[in-house]
Structure 1
């Protein structure tokens, strides 16, 4: 069962809270759906699920992550950093929903005031009936800062590249376990 949070204290910078848990994604945004097969079997599923929900997958891909809690839960505040020195961009987010289920593990976070984009992104590990383990990134976003507007169509390309990188890193993490 997917747990969705609505605390009323959030400063999300978009109105479509929880939309990555539903279809279709809202109109007026760039949409991303990237799926990667990361392995086979319950051990791979468990390892990958833990890596996603503790931000280990994000950190191993080069992101700097600061979070309120160790494992994600609705309401967890997250600051995602990319870049170095004066070129570092910090993006504040809040976990919107989580899934800790027998065949699905993951979460979605939404962008907060101050994020260079506005929208939501989910990271979900699933095991199918045949035992194949998949990692899916689903997102909807649009520019929210002058530099993301200036970058135009480059931003969705970078997001797709990052989703693919996360899938590769998660596959490697699961294989190493």
Structure 2
């Protein structure tokens, strides 16, 4: 896969969303993972799969997401812009999709940061269905200071990241507001 030259993640693919387990060993950033059970049933699983690949984790958490090449389905190498509004401030987060997984019992996407993003690293949104039919949403990420002057904003970025992670974990739950 070809990634843009402005990708700032030192290890694209580090979140390994196709893998059932994840124990990264990184020296350049802060690894994080957590998961939440969403429920059971075919309809819930169908909706979860569709919503995850439609960026609902981001959009239901207060972000706008748009493809930079016009394609709506996330595919590896595709560039996107994520936008957050923090009061009067608009924060643009350029990203590139690193992986998109689509199997009957697992759907995931991971993306890496590009130049201009407030941090550097990679994040993955993973939905999987267990043997008993339970849908589980998992979040994985590795975060570090952005290159250049943006790196000074890491403490603020980490504080906001914690708030957004809480929103991410609610975004695919049954009853979550639909965008």
Return the TM-score normalized by structure 2. Answer: 0.84
Match of 1:7 among 2, 22, 26: 2
Distance 2:115 2:150 in 1: 16
Which residue of the partner structure matches residue 59 of structure 1? 59
Tell me if 1:41 matches 2:41. Answer: yes
Aligned partner of 2:19 in structure 1 is none
- Tell me the distance in 2 between the aligned counterparts of 1:100 and 1:94: 18
- Aligned counterparts, 1:23-38, within 5 A: 23-38=23-38
Q: For residue 152 of structure 2, what is the aligned residue in structure 1? A: 149
Does structure 2 retain, via aligned residues, the 8 Å contact 1:64–1:81?
yes
In structure 2, runs of 5+ residues without a counterpart are: 17-21
- Cα distance change on mapping 1:151 and 1:24 into 2, 3 Å: closer
**Which of 78, 82, 94 matches 1:92?**
94
Which is worse superposed, 91-100 or 157-166? 157-166
Task: Count how many residue pairs are aligned between Structure 1 and Structure 2.
Answer: 170
Larger helix proportion, structure 1 or 2? 1
- 1:110-166 C-alpha deviation (Å, 9 max, x unpaired): 0011111110000001110011111111000112164552452x4334323312212
